[in-house]
Structure 1
Amino acid sequence: MPFVDDLIAFSAQSSADLPASALRLAQFSLLDWLVCGRAGVEEPVAQKLRAFGVSEGGVQTASTFGGPKMPPRMAALINGAVSHALDYDDTHFAHIGHLSVGIYPVALAAAEDIGANASDFLAAFVVGAEAAIRIGTVLGAAHYNLGFHQTATAGAFGATVAAGRLYGLTQEQMRAALGLCATRASGLKSQFGTMGKPYNAGIAASNGIECAQLARLDMTSCADGLMGPQGFAETHHAGLPLETADWDGLAGGKLLFADNKYKLHACCHGLHAMIEAVLLAKETGVTFDDVTEFVLRTNPRWLKVCDIKQPRTGLEVKFSYAWLAGMTLRGDATGAPDTYTDALALDLALAAFAEKVTVIGDDTLTDLQVEGILTFKNGATREASFDLAAPLPMETLEGKLRSKAQACLGQEGADIWSILDQMDQMNAREIGRLVSG
């Protein structure tokens, strides 16, 4: 069966057939998304998009972070961008993108629009997230390396599936919605480092609402805008062997969403394996002053992303192996967004420690792995390694995400997580109140 047909069939997957573990992880993702969004409400991009939304007006049905209710499409745009403003949201490394910031805004906006309950809202997110991942794996690293931001491209298709599911699209309407999304999905990595990056996430969510609502009105589109001739895949992936693109297993098997990863440190995800490796070493008694040299090996792709040798700003610190290694050993709060000030880039102790750090590309390591050697004043050495692919027990992950929420928002973060075990009795509009604050 063609990929798009499998995708459409999966979009109608019964909630009862979705793995309970995936739905639990979706609850974690929701609360983590809410924390990221509430923490980002005062960011410049948040203020600008709220002002843009107010200027357009419209039917006020969907909640926005830090602002009034808006029409669903505008709310999805705002909430996608605001929740990605701090770049502290979850990552799926097979998808090569951020799932929650593109799909939860559209799922919430549509669910509030129709008055859905939380269970239907969560199921729509899981199905949309899985769709985005599967499409992301077809587009692959080549698509990302061409300069496309998969959070916004593959993510827009996932957002469309989530919205279409909630709006009750027929199979033919869902096909049309995906076709319309194929001509709308967009987002470039050239926007990284600007407000355009979080805007990309908002675009994905906004496209999802727009395409689903137009298909609901029976607007037509091509039969296969995703994988068909001159469709999205063919035009956005140089040399894609389309004949090898398949769903790789229908609903009922393991969902790739189960491998979703969460940021526990307020910096580039490429640094997290190193931070965890250093934290493990620190547990054995290693201190900041003990280390005379740290040689770290990482996947070469990260050398162009997060190996800034001498960061000039707090933002650049978030992309510096050398600075984060010293901060971690020193005990700085790497999970608190307000740690990363411009003054931190001028810290003389960290600058001196950075001189001791050497980062080497090693293509035998995955994107999620690091290996390193710490050398001490007495000449002794210690290995430091970590693999983010190693699954965390749900209880451990929950505890770490709760700690992150409190580091970001204090009591407000704790209050957001207090609804975890009440979610099954809630509806989307009640969750929307947590968005608006």
Structure 2
Amino acid sequence: MSDFSTSLAAFAAGSVETTLQTRVVTSLSVLDWIAVGRAGVDEPVSKAVRDLVLGEEGATQSHLFGGGAAPMRGAALVNGTVSHALDYDDTHFAHIGHPSVAVLPAALALSEWDDRILVDFLEAALVGMEVSIRMGLWLGRDHYQAGFHQTATAGAFGAAVAAGRVLGFDVTQMRKVLGLTATRAAGLKAQFGTMGKPYNAGLAASTGVETALLIAKGFEPNMDALEGPYGFGTTHKGEGDAPAALAGLGEEWLFESISHKFHACCHGLHAALEAARDLDIAEPEVAEIKIKTHPRWMSVCNQMSPTTGLGAKFSYRTVIAMQALGYDTALPGSYTDKVCADPRLKSLRDRVSVEADETLSETQAHLTLLRRDGARLEVTHDLLTPMSLSDREDRVRGKAAKLIGEEEADAIWSMLRTGGRARDLAKRLAV
């Protein structure tokens, strides 16, 4: 018997105690997920997966981003893919995964079908996202470095647990759904930079729905398929550090330290952009800007002089110049070929340098600003620095307002905070 599986299953099926902080952060992630999903409906990958699912025959059980409805599995596939299409959703740095896009589509699809109240949906989603983070910690960095996409792998287990909680699974059923998901969870980093990356999120959400529905129908898998010689951890390069992954489970919510994206670009750039925000840089004052970052980001988001909007999303020099010139880096529409060709941006970009610094963590960046008046300003920003609940709420709601409009963002937030039925929230995906 797997102690790790049993511990996760007991947590997933049991009663949980939440704090105001946990509940608000969960609701903010739901608002953020809906906003980035609605903003991403016109992306090519979104259209392709929607067309696939809407072209199938079957019951229309759950609403889709962009309109229409589909069977639960198909809805989870579409909504997971669409909400990750812009890569603008939340991230948890403990395992470098995106919990919301894998777990929320599964939890909402079943909650809508089962006509659950929002409180039930939010609790199932929170438990599922916590399990995805714990799974990611158990699998470890070797799993990620071997080429597996944690959003797709760890996320599938979180989606399955969330779906199982909506269906009222007991501990044994939770162990079964974890075991069955072990044979379905998949996703490769080889898809990064293509439509395959957001599709990985959709696959995780869809897998969670599928495995939970099968267990509900009496499917009998190997309940201990996470550990052991042929288990998921061993076959997928997982480290299997169960004590570390389970530490504080049921008492401490790791999900509370989720990092929401406030800039529509690679998350590796965000610490630098937040540091620039702390310095309040503006182009007329800039003589030179020096950026220091963790070495891993040098090969990920350090394009020197991109000419396309997509390239700009992976360029320290470009996004810092954009921010100094007043471009709103929170809006996906700010990243265009035309912006990259702006003579003012090119001039300022040439005054920005980037270097690796092994003393910095992956969530830190250090900026040095040399002003034209000779003043020298420096700041280090860490994305893991705790943000007050009120500041987090202001920024997430502000981001949502920019993406879907203030009135709509406020309406969704009011629904999440005052309650109602999951089906009413699901209808907001298509407004």
Task: Provide the TM-score with structure 2 as the length reference.
Answer: 0.96
Write the letter of the residue equivalent to 2:277: L
**Which residue number in structure 1 is paired with residue 33 of structure 2?**
33
Query: Aligned Cα RMSD in Å?
Result: 1.6
Task: Tell me how far 1:318 sits from its aligned partner.
Answer: 0.7
**Which residue number in structure 2 is paired with residue 10 of structure 1?**
11
**Which residue number in structure 1 is paired with residue 413 of structure 2?**
420
**Which residue number in structure 2 is paired with residue 98 of structure 1?**
98
| Whole-angstrom distance in 2 between the partners of 1:391 and 1:98 | 19
- 2:200 paired with 1:208: no
| Whole-angstrom distance in 2 between the partners of 1:266 and 1:35 | 12
Write the letter of the residue equivalent to 1:327: M
**Which residue number in structure 2 is paired with residue 433 of structure 1?**
427
Answer yes or no: is the 8 Å Cα contact 1:143–1:236 preserved in 2: yes
**Which residue number in structure 1 is paired with residue 84 of structure 2?**
84
Structure 2 residue matching 1:297: 3-state secondary structure: strand
Task: Tell me how far 1:378 sits from its aligned partner.
Answer: 3.8
| Whole-angstrom distance in 2 between the partners of 1:232 and 1:364 | 34
Deviations 1:371-390 (A, max 9, x none): 12112334331113211111
| Whole-angstrom distance in 2 between the partners of 1:19 and 1:36 | 26
Task: Tell me how far 1:241 sits from its aligned partner.
Answer: 5.4
**Which residue number in structure 1 is paired with residue 305 of structure 2?**
310
Structure 1 residue matching 2:28: 3-state secondary structure: helix
Answer yes or no: is the 8 Å Cα contact 1:227–1:242 preserved in 2: no
**Which residue number in structure 1 is paired with residue 385 of structure 2?**
390
| Whole-angstrom distance in 1 between the partners of 2:142 and 2:89 | 23
Deviations 1:343-383 (A, max 9, x none): 12222222222222221111221121111211233433111
- 2:398 paired with 1:403: yes
Deviations 1:104-150 (A, max 9, x none): 00000010111111000000000000000001111122211111111
1:18-167 aligned at under 5 Å gives the runs 18-167=18-167
Answer yes or no: is the 8 Å Cα contact 1:234–1:242 preserved in 2: no
Range with greater deviation from structure 2 (99-108 or 49-58): 49-58
Structure 2 residue matching 1:392: 3-state secondary structure: coil
Structure 2 residue matching 1:152: 3-state secondary structure: helix
1:334-353 aligned at under 5 Å gives the runs 334-353=329-348
Inter-CA distance 368–425: structure 2 relative to 1 (3 Å threshold):
same
Deviations 1:203-260 (A, max 9, x none): 000000001011111111113111232111111116x255756511231x11100100
Inter-CA distance 109–353: structure 2 relative to 1 (3 Å threshold):
same
| Whole-angstrom distance in 2 between the partners of 1:377 and 1:371 | 20
The percent of aligned pairs where both chains have the same amino acid is 45
Answer yes or no: is the 8 Å Cα contact 1:95–1:132 preserved in 2: no
Inter-CA distance 243–335: structure 2 relative to 1 (3 Å threshold):
closer
Answer yes or no: is the 8 Å Cα contact 1:279–1:329 preserved in 2: no
Deviations 1:11-30 (A, max 9, x none): 01324x23332121111111
Deviations 1:367-422 (A, max 9, x none): 211112112334331113211111111111111112211221224xx323334244
Answer yes or no: is the 8 Å Cα contact 1:102–1:205 preserved in 2: yes
Q: How many residues align?
A: 429
Write the letter of the residue equivalent to 1:35: A
Runs of 4+ more than 6 Å apart: none
**Which residue number in structure 2 is paired with residue 250 of structure 1?**
249
Structure 2 residue matching 1:289: 3-state secondary structure: helix
| Whole-angstrom distance in 2 between the partners of 1:313 and 1:13 | 50
Residue number among 258, 261, 265 corresponding to 1:263 in the alignment? 261
Inter-CA distance 224–132: structure 2 relative to 1 (3 Å threshold):
same
Range with greater deviation from structure 2 (256-265 or 221-230): 221-230
Task: Tell me how far 1:321 sits from its aligned partner.
Answer: 0.3
Answer yes or no: is the 8 Å Cα contact 2:138–2:240 preserved in 1: no
**Which residue number in structure 2 is paired with residue 298 of structure 1?**
293
Residue number among 370, 376, 389 corresponding to 1:375 in the alignment? 370
| Whole-angstrom distance in 2 between the partners of 1:401 and 1:246 | 28
- 2:286 paired with 1:281: no
Inter-CA distance 275–243: structure 2 relative to 1 (3 Å threshold):
closer
Inter-CA distance 241–92: structure 2 relative to 1 (3 Å threshold):
closer
Q: Which runs of 5+ in 1 are unaligned?
A: none
Answer yes or no: is the 8 Å Cα contact 1:273–1:368 preserved in 2: yes
| Whole-angstrom distance in 2 between the partners of 1:102 and 1:416 | 22
Write the letter of the residue equivalent to 2:253: L
Answer yes or no: is the 8 Å Cα contact 2:84–2:101 preserved in 1: yes
Answer yes or no: is the 8 Å Cα contact 2:131–2:158 preserved in 1: yes
Task: Tell me how far 1:177 sits from its aligned partner.
Answer: 1.2
Q: Which runs of 5+ in 2 are unaligned?
A: none
Write the letter of the residue equivalent to 1:18: T
| Whole-angstrom distance in 2 between the partners of 1:347 and 1:382 | 26
Write the letter of the residue equivalent to 1:248: A
| Whole-angstrom distance in 2 between the partners of 1:313 and 1:143 | 32
| Whole-angstrom distance in 1 between the partners of 2:126 and 2:240 | 28
Task: Tell me how far 1:305 sits from its aligned partner.
Answer: 1.2
Deviations 1:272-296 (A, max 9, x none): 11111112212xxx43133222221
**Which residue number in structure 2 is paired with residue 331 of structure 1?**
326
Structure 2 residue matching 1:292: 3-state secondary structure: strand
Task: Tell me how far 1:95 sits from its aligned partner.
Answer: 2.6
Task: Provide the TM-score with structure 1 as the length reference.
Answer: 0.95
| Whole-angstrom distance in 1 between the partners of 2:245 and 2:405 | 45
Inter-CA distance 181–243: structure 2 relative to 1 (3 Å threshold):
closer
Task: Tell me how far 1:31 sits from its aligned partner.
Answer: 0.7
| Whole-angstrom distance in 2 between the partners of 1:358 and 1:250 | 43
**Which residue number in structure 1 is paired with residue 176 of structure 2?**
176
| Whole-angstrom distance in 1 between the partners of 2:11 and 2:240 | 23
